[in-house]
Amino acid sequence: MKTIDKIQLDQNGPSVSKLGLGCMRMSSIWGGSTPDEAESIATIHEALDNGINFLNTGDFYGAGHNEMLIGKAIKGRRDDAFISVKFGAIFHNGQWIGLDLRPVAIKNFINYSLTRLGIETIDLYQPSRMDNSVPIEDIIGTIADLKKEGKLRYIGVSEITAQQLRRANEVHPISALEIGYSLAERQIESELLPTAKELGIGIVAFANTAEGLLTGELKVPLAENDYRNHFSRFQGENLVHNLEKVEVLKQMAINKSYTPTQLAIAWVKEQGDQIMPLVSMSRRSRLPENIQAMEIVFTPEEMSLLNTTFASGAILGGTYLQR
Ligand SMILES: NC(=O)c1ccc[n+]([C@@H]2O[C@H](COP(=O)([O-])OP(=O)(O)OC[C@H]3O[C@@H](n4cnc5c(N)ncnc54)[C@H](OP(=O)(O)O)[C@@H]3O)[C@@H](O)[C@H]2O)c1
């Protein structure tokens, strides 16, 4: 496998791998069983061996399970990994029940995260969402204080608006914006993406496969207990229409001798030097395919076909990512 290139997230910020490893699906998030832990740890090791140093987690992924898993995986090789942690979301029994962004809570959260991860400093620390109950200035100000205490190195944000991003960046320079972005999810292109670029903030782009829609492997009808049944994107006529769009991606994948997933990831990485595709991989078998995606280039005609087929609004129905 080819070693992954590095990118700099913001001008003074960290150098991280151009492809990130999303660890969320290594834990039970929306209920259901926990994937094979030995395989998850082996996947993290193999990712690190291939230069993928950016590991993404949240303290609420599996109610702390995900951080403990990463803690085990990086034992003895802390310097190989760049750990990005989200906080603030409260889950119970696989259900999102709200946010807690109070300064006193943040100071509490980070200590537990450090303990579960078994590290002294978190590389990138970020609120998972914002809400109106706590001013952004207090949230980012509290994280900045924790940075002064040496508990974290860089500050990020996730799933916020362009205005919120500007406000956050005025309190303390923001190194990274974690945001859903894919051929199927292009809302950020109108305002948020240009704002992040203007401010020199790196983009950590997740959900590149749009909840599996763009893998070309979606089996319909979905299983009864599949969480995607709750989202209109995966229901009835919307799903039929959306899968027709995916056929274009599938055909291009055949023509180029890649998979639809590889093209979906490659399209994201082509959107800018400071954009990192953050991809969930819970088994080693995913790594060669997704690493190879980082080598793909598109002709202008191919890019134009993708951008036309998947123009903003072309994919019908919402997911949890609709802002
Ligand atoms: N900030 C936020 O609000 C937020 C929200 C969601 C996620 N995230 C972060 O972003 C990461 C990625 O998000 P995501 O999981 O929603 O999206 P994703 O990366 O598009 O992953 C979706 C699914 O694609 C599968 N997959 C990966 N490579 C594949 C391949 N080559 N062929 C076929 N399927 C493949 C994965 O399966 P396997 O698991 O079976 O390998 C996974 O179940 C998460 O791990 C998490 O760290 C952040």
**How far apart are the C-alpha atoms of 1 and 198, rounded to whole Å?**
34
Q: For atom 41 of ligand 1, which residue has the closest CA?
A: 281
Centre of ligand 1 to C-alpha 279, Å, is: 5
pLDDT of residue 243: 97
Task: Please report where in the chains the tokens 């299983």 appear, as a residue.
Answer: 223
Mutational pocket test of ligand 1: of 33, 57, 181, 209, the residue with most ligand atoms within 8 Å of the beta carbon: 209
Cα Rg for the chain, rounded, in angstroms?
19
Read off the pLDDT of residues 224-280 as tens digits, 9 standing for 90 and up: 988 899 999 999 999 999 999 999 999 999 999 999 999 999 999 999 999 999 999
Pairing outcome for strands 82-87 and 122-127: parallel
**How far is C-alpha 221 from the geometric centre of its chain's CA atoms?**
27
264 Cβ closer than 6 Å to some ligand 1 atom: no
Centre of ligand 1 to C-alpha 210, Å, is: 8
CATH number for the region 6-209+260-297 comes to 3.20.20.100
- Of 300, 305, 280, 303, the C-alpha closest to 290 is 280
What are the residue boundaries of the structural domains of the chain, listed by start? 6-209+260-297
Q: Are 156 and 203 in contact (CB under 8 A)?
A: no
261 Cβ closer than 6 Å to some ligand 1 atom: yes
pLDDT of residue 10: 87
Per-residue pLDDT at 2 exceeds 70 = no
Judge whether 61 counts as a catalytic residue: yes
Read off the pLDDT of residues 143-189 as tens digits, 9 standing for 90 and up: 999 999 999 999 999 999 999 999 999 999 999 999 999 999 999 99
Read off the pLDDT of residues 98-132 as tens digits, 9 standing for 90 and up: 999 999 999 999 999 999 999 999 999 999 999 98
Rounded (to 5) percent helix, strand, coil in the chain:
45, 20, 40
Q: Which has more pLDDT, 31 or 89?
A: 89
- Residues 268-271: contacts with CB within 8 Å, 24+ apart? 268/181, 268/182, 268/205, 268/208, 269/18, 269/19, 269/293, 269/294, 270/297, 270/298, 270/303, 271/181, 271/193, 271/203, 271/205
User: What's the whole-model pTM score?
Assistant: 0.97
**Number of the ligand 1 atom closest to the C-alpha atom of 207:** 17
Indicate the residue type of 49. D
**How far apart are the C-alpha atoms of 82 and 15, rounded to whole Å?**
9
Q: Are 68 and 57 in contact (CB under 8 A)?
A: no
Centre of ligand 1 to C-alpha 79, Å, is: 25
**How far apart are the C-alpha atoms of 32 and 41, rounded to whole Å?**
19
Q: For atom 32 of ligand 1, which residue has the closest CA?
A: 261
Mutational pocket test of ligand 1: of 259, 279, 291, the residue with most ligand atoms within 8 Å of the beta carbon: 279
Annotated active-site residue in 61, 154, 181, 258: 61
